[in-house]
Amino acid sequence: MNISLTKIIESWITDNSKVIDFGCGDGSLLQFLIDNKNVNGYGVEIDHEKIQQCVEKGLSVIEQDIDEGIQDFVSSNFDFAIMASSIQCLKNPHIALGRMLDLSKQCVVTLPNLGYWRCRLNLLSGKMPVTPNLPSSWYETDNLHLCTIKDFEKLCADEGFVVNKKIFLNGQGKKGTLASLFPNIFSSEGVYLLERK
Amino acid sequence: MKTERNLIHFESGIDLESGSRLNKFDLMVETYGNLNKDKSNGILICHAFSGNHHAAGKFSADDSIGWWDQIIGPGKSIDTNKYFVVCSNNLGGCSGSTGPSSVNPDTGEIYGKDFPIVSVEDWVQSQKMLTDYLNIEKWHLVVGGSIGGMQALQWSIAFPDSLKKAGIFAAAAKSSTQNIAMNEVARESIRKDKDFHGGDYYKHNVKPKNGLKTARMLGHITYLSEKHMDHKFGRKFQDEESRVAGDVDYQVENYLQYKGEKFSDLFDANSYILMTKAMDDYDASEGNSGDLEKTLSSIKAKLLVIGFESDWLYPPQRSKEIQLAAMNVNVECSCLILYGKQGHDSFLFASKRYEKIIKSFIES
């Protein structure tokens, strides 16, 4: 995960909060939040190698397919649920988002923007987008549900998720003026802090 | 590997959960490796139902290999070069610790059916006494599979300050209705053996071998997975030379006959009944009216809960229940579901992933 993204998430997460990171990967973000924010953190991951890395870091990690398992997470009193660059890999992203907001007060979501100009150029040239934050070819990507910034915000409005904060990153993975003014074209990644109405 | 085997006597006795009391008792204990100066490298192994203190290596040349030798030893996941590993035979067992086949010091006669009911909580209590005897303030890890995993869980509940980590493998916070049902069939076959004599078979110089054998055969079916059984034996016929019983046709029959027969020579029927009862009766949340979260809220240890996909005796869902309840009350807890083709028995066998996870958990 790039450093700006980590910094943004860090600035949103409050000290000593309880955090669950869905699709926590090797646990780097969780480790960072534990070290810098003293959070009580849990990770959910499906990849064996990444789970192993979490255990090596001494993190609490749950081996679980998010689509299948998120219904099992009941009455967990989390302050924040994080889903960084994983929402597009889920079978039912809207259900998972709703569930995340049931078990936490607020929810951090980051997602790659399919409306980013380089993706559009790729599509114009007749090919599936391959960009720095969508690096895999169509046949080997884990992404099932890619969307644009506009699509995502429409989903939030339809489902009654309130966008508390949002930040858009440019192609270099940094906050940029153009990306903020015209996110649907110039941001490669959107970062959201959501809660229920 | 430096190995010691000692019978440790506890003159103070123990008050049991049932209200009964053992005025004195012994625990048969095996240790591997060396305790370091600050006594911080102790690992306590809790054995499963039919296991015992002999967890690793061979104590003598003609000894059998320990039941968890694939995991415990020099350079292994539980590394005896680095850790001081302790395993004791549970109270009520039949491998040296005080049990139904021991002589009651108050009467001079074998306890038999009069041996008091013991519980998982009692085992943990007696292991705590052993811990004090060894002058260990805090275990680095308490770990076990199946009912051994229940003991590890109970350790973290009952003595939160006495362990850093707990490994709870192929276990549950309580036995299921089906678990109890299976155990009752096993017990019934023992009780109905003509040589059982209400549990006082020692006086008659006989053993209810047939009942015990049938019980164990049933047990073995529940320890394996359908797939593994099919893979291991299929519908293959047993060749005539290696048949252990006359009316055996299939290899799986031969396997069960062999395992059952061997077990009935070694194990004590009263211990079998006692151990299965302890397993059935365990419910971690009993004291809190079934509220598992409340029960786990006192835990300070870091937990590693592992379930195995092919385990239908304590299926992965039982592991997840522990993890979810622990997470809800802010206990540090990981939960992994490993493939493990050997069904419930999977916790006994090393696999690359299992070994790596255990090692990392210990060393993280």
Residues in a beta bridge with A30: none
Residues B25 and B147 in one domain: yes
Q: What are phi and psi of B163, to 5 degrees?
A: -150, 150
* Residues of chain B neighbouring A44 (CB-CB closer than 8 A): none
* Least-confidence region, from B28-32, B147-151, B227-231: B227-231
Q: What is the pLDDT of residue A69?
A: 84
Q: Is the pLDDT of residue B114 over 80?
A: yes
Q: Quick check: A51 and B336 CB within 8 A?
A: yes
Q: What is the CA radius of gyration of chain A?
A: 16
Q: Which residues of A touch B354 (CB under 8 A)?
A: none
Q: What is the rounded distance in angstroms from the CA atom of residue B269 to the CA atom of residue B123?
A: 19
Angle of helix B251-266 relative to helix B209-223, nearest 10 degrees? Answer: 130
Whether residue A101 is predicted with pLDDT greater than 90 in this model: the reply is: yes
Q: Which residue of A has its CA nearest to B360?
A: A56
Q: DSSP 3-state assignment of A59?
A: coil
Pairing label, strands B84-88, B139-145: unpaired
B125 and B52 both lie in a single domain = yes
- Is A73 an interface residue toward B (CB < 8 Å)? yes
Give the 3-state DSSP-derived string for B150-183, with helices as H, strands as E and coil as C. Answer: HHHHHHHHHCHHHEEEEEEECCCCECCHHHHHHH
The Cα–Cα gap between B101 and B27 comes to 14
Phi-psi region of B13 (alpha: psi -120 to 50; beta: other; left: phi over 0): left
Cβ-defined contact of B334 to A56 (cutoff 8 Å):
no
| Cα–Cα dist B129/B142, whole Å | 15
Q: Tell whether A177 lies on the interface with B, counting CB pairs under 8 A.
A: no
Average pLDDT (B64-81) is 97
Q: Note whether A52 contacts B: Cβ–Cβ < 8 A.
A: yes
Does residue A62 sit at the B interface (CB-CB below 8 Å)?
yes
CB-based contact A52 B328, cutoff 8 Å: no
Same domain, B21 and B168: yes
**pLDDT above 90 coverage of chain B, percent:** 93
**Nearest-neighbour CA in chain A from B361: distance (Å):** 6
The predicted model gives B10-35 an average pLDDT of 97
State which H helix or E strand residue A168 sits in. strand A161-169
Taking contacts as CB-CB distances below 8 angstroms, the residues of chain B near A63 are: 335-337
- B241 shares a domain with B95: no
Core vs surface per residue A149-159: b (16+ CB within 10 A) or e: bebbbeebeee
Asked if residue B92 lies in contact with residue B275, where contact means CB atoms within 8 angstroms, the answer is yes
Q: Closest residue of A to B337, CA-based?
A: A63
Q: What is the pLDDT of residue A68?
A: 87
Q: Around Cβ B176, how many Cβ atoms within 10 Å? A: 15
Q: DSSP alpha helices (H): ranges in chain A? A: 3-12, 28-37, 48-56, 66-69, 93-103, 117-124, 149-159, 177-181, 183-186
When pLDDT is cut at 50, 70 and 90, the band that residue A72 belongs to is confident
pLDDT 10s digits, A73-82: 877 789 999 9
Q: Is B364 on the interface with A (CB under 8 A)?
A: yes
**Where are chain A's structural domains?**
3-196
CA distances from B238 to B241, B249, B255, B302, B356 (A): 8, 6, 9, 48, 37
Q: Which of B324, B336, B337 sits opposite A72 (nearest CB)?
A: B324
Q: Compute the distance between CA of residue B101 and CA of residue B80 in angstroms, rounded to an integer.
A: 32
Question: Of B277, B300, B332, which marks where a domain is finished?
Answer: B277
Residues of A in contact with B361 (CB under 8 A): 55
In angstroms, rounded to a whole number, what is the distance separating the alpha carbons of residues B96 and B117?
Answer: 18
Residues in contact with A25: Cβ distance below 8 Å, sequence separation at least 6, in sequence order = A1, A45, A47, A50
Helix residue ranges, H only, chain B: 120-133, 147-158, 177-191, 209-223, 226-233, 251-266, 269-281, 292-296, 316-328, 352-363
Same domain, B63 and B162: yes
**Beta carbons of A40 and B304 less than 8 Å apart:** no
Residue where one domain finishes, among candidates B254, B277, B300: B277
Q: Is B337 within 8 Å of chain A by CB?
A: yes
pLDDT at B61: 86
- B250 plus B288 within the same structural domain: no
The ipTM of this complex is: 0.92
CATH number of the CATH domain containing B102: 3.40.50.1820
Query: For chain B, what is the mean pLDDT?
Result: 96
Q: Which residue of A has its CA nearest to B323?
A: A62
**Please, what is the angle between helix A28-37 and helix A3-12, to 10°?**
50
Among the partner residues B328, B330, B361, nearest to A55 by beta-carbon distance:
B361
A29 vs B29: CA distance, rounded Å: 44
> What pLDDT, on the 0 to 100 scale, is given for residue B161?
98
Residues B256 and B301 in one domain: no
Residue A1 has pLDDT above 80, yes or no: no
Mean pLDDT of chain A, nearest integer: 93
Residue in A55, A57, A58 nearest the CB of B357: A55
Domain total of chain B: 2
Task: Quick: pLDDT tens for B275-333.
Answer: 999 999 999 999 999 999 999 999 999 999 999 999 999 999 999 999 999 999 999 99
Confidence at B242, pLDDT banded by 50, 70, 90: confident
| Consecutive H or E run containing B103 | strand B103-104
Report the pLDDT value the prediction gives residue B170, as an integer from 0 to 100: 98
Look-up of token digits 């506890």:
B10
Domain boundary among B220, B252, B277: B277
Provide the pLDDT confidence category of residue A39 given band limits of 50, 70 and 90. very high
Interface test with A, best of B296, B319, B327 (most A CBs within 10 A): B327
Determine contact: A161 vs chain B, CB below 8 A.
Answer: no
Question: Cβ–Cβ of B335/A63 closer than 8 Å?
Answer: yes
Size (chain A), residues: 197
Same domain, B139 and B227: no
Question: With an 8 Å Cβ cutoff, is A78 touching chain B?
Answer: no
Residue B250, domain extent = 179-277
Q: Examine the domain organization and report whether B163 and B202 are in the same domain.
A: no
- Under DSSP, the state recorded for B313 is S
Mean pLDDT (whole number) for A48-72: 94
Averaged over B44-71, what is the pLDDT?
94
- Residue A102 touches chain B, beta carbons under 8 Å: no
CB atoms within 10 A of CB B324: 20
Rounded to whole angstroms, the Cα distance separating A69 from B342 reads 24
> Could you tell me if A79 lies within 8 Å of chain B, comparing CB atoms?
no
**Residue B246 pLDDT > 80, yes or no?**
no
Same domain, B75 and B131: yes
Instruction: Determine contact: B360 vs chain A, CB below 8 A.
Output: yes
- Beta bridge partner(s), residue B88: B29
Does B115 lie in the same domain as B194? Answer: no
Q: What is the dihedral of CA B330, B292, A52, A142, to 10 degrees?
A: -90
Do β-strands B333-338 and B302-308 pair in parallel, antiparallel, or remain unpaired?
parallel
Q: Which of A38, A62, A79 to mutate to test the interface with B (most CBs of B within 10 A)?
A: A62
Pairing of strands B109-110, B72-73: unpaired
Q: Which residue, among B44, B41, B279, has the nearest Cα to B181 in the 3D structure?
A: B279
Closest CA to B226 of B250, B252, B244: B252
Closest approach of chain B CAs to the CA of A37, in angstroms? 16
CATH superfamily label, A3-196: Vaccinia Virus protein VP39 (3.40.50.150)
pLDDT tens, position by position, B201-212: 999 999 999 999
At B97 the pLDDT is 98
A chain contacts of residue B357, beta-carbon cutoff 8 Å: 52, 55
Q: What is the pLDDT of residue B327?
A: 95
CATH of the domain at B259: 1.10.1740.110
Q: Smallest CA–CA separation between B331 and chain A, in Å? A: 9
Please report the pLDDT score of residue B244 as a whole number: 85
Q: What is the pTM of this model?
A: 0.94
- Counting one residue from chain A and one from chain B, the pairs whose CB atoms sit within 8 A come to 47
A113: confidence class by pLDDT, cuts 50, 70, 90: very high
> Both B86 and B155 in a single domain?
yes
Positions of B marked active-site: 146, 311, 344
- Token pair, residue A128, equals 């599936």
Burial of residue B200 (CB within 10 Å: 0-12, 13-18, 19+) is middle
Among A138-142, B241-245, B347-351, which stretch is predicted with the lowest mean pLDDT?
A: B241-245
The candidate with the shortest Cα–Cα distance to B263, out of B313, B200, B214, is B214
